[in-house]
């Protein structure tokens, strides 16, 4: 489908690498925590309305919605997100593809990278994962949930490749 106007610059149909399989667990855990908060609030609201003598099926709207959102947050969103997430780091560029409903493909040339960080929140740490954040002068991209050693490798590699720094 891609017009091959310049030889050797063809973009692959998809970046080659997937992110770590444990990401799924980490995101489900994250979804579980978020859902717990949502369900708690919704239950309190529903109970409050019911106590005030509102018809039961109106009082039930918020809790039912909360349950649907929870199912999405715990099962659907992480799975779709993981399936869509792909990345590829070559000498010249970062190639990222992600999205849940909207699929986004982003190219970041190495010479544009200003700095790279790895980050590890409490949930990611539990699963031995870390995310890599890549900053350019026009914003930040993140590759979430890679195995810790993969993330460290990637960070070092990107910072080496980007080392041929050029200012804005």
Partner 1 sequence: MICAIASPCSRVLPKMSEPHRLHPAAIMLWTLRFARELFIPAIIPLGIQFFRHGLDILNAQTMVLVAAGLLVLLLASGTYGVLAWRRFTYRIDEGELHVEQGVISRNRRFIPLERIQAVDLSQGLLQRLLGVVRVQVETAGGGRSSPEVSLAAVSRDDANRLRRALAGQHETLDERPQMETPAPVRRLAFADLLIAGSTSGRVGIALSIVVSIIAFADDLIPFDAIAGQFGRLSGFGAVVLAALLFAGFVWFLGVLGTTLAHAGFTLTRDGDNLTIERGLLERRHATIPIDRIQSIRVVEGIVRQPFGLVELRIDSAGYGEHSGESTVLFPLLRRDDVLPFLREMTPALAALATFNQLPSRARRRYALRLSQVGPAIALAALPAIALFPLGLVALLLIPAVMLLGLWQYRTAGWVVENDTLLLRWRILSRTTVILPRRRIQQAESRRTPFQRRVRLATFAARVASGGSGAAFDLQHMDDAEANRLLTWFAAGHRTGTTEL
Binding residues for partner 1 (CB under 8 A): 1-3, 5-6, 8-11, 92-93, 99, 101-112, 136-139, 141, 166-168
Instruction: Give the nearest distance from C-beta 10 to partner 1 in angstroms.
Output: 7
Instruction: Give the nearest distance from C-beta 84 to partner 1 in angstroms.
Output: 11
Instruction: Give the nearest distance from C-beta 6 to partner 1 in angstroms.
Output: 5
Distances (CA, A) of 47 to 18, 64, 69: 44, 12, 19
| 62 vs 162 by CB, closer to partner 1 | 162
For residue 6, give the 3-state DSSP assignment: coil
Instruction: Give the nearest distance from C-beta 50 to partner 1 in angstroms.
Output: 32
Contacts of 53 (CB under 8 A, 6+ apart): none
| 98 vs 155 by CB, closer to partner 1 | 98
Query: Which pair of structure tokens corresponds to residue 137?
Result: 């002068």
Asked whether 20 and 29 are in contact (CB, 8 A), the reply is no
| 2 vs 52 by CB, closer to partner 1 | 2
| 52 vs 101 by CB, closer to partner 1 | 101
Which residue, among 67, 107, 101, has the nearest Cα to 81 in the 3D structure? 101
Asked whether 121 and 97 are in contact (CB, 8 A), the reply is no
């Amino acid at each position: 489908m891609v017009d091959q106007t310049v030889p050797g610059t063809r973009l692959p149909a998809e970046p080659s690498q997937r992110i770590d399989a444990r990401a799924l667990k980490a995101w489900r855990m994250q979804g579980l925590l978020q859902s717990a908060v949502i369900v708690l609030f919704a239950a309190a609201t529903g109970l409050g309305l019911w106590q005030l003598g509102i018809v039961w099926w109106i009082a039930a709207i918020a809790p039912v919605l909360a349950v649907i959102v929870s199912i999405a947050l715990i099962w659907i969103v992480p799975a779709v997100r993981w399936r869509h997430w792909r990345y590829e780091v070559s000498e010249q560029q970062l190639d990222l593809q992600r999205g849940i409903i909207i699929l986004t493909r982003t190219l970041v040339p190495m010479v544009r990278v200003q700095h790279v960080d790895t980050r590890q929140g409490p949930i990611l740490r539990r699963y031995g994962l870390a995310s890599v954040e890549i900053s350019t002068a026009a914003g930040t991209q993140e590759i979430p949930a890679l195995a810790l050693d993969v993330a460290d490798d990637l960070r070092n590699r990107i910072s080496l490749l980007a080392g041929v720094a050029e200012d804005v």
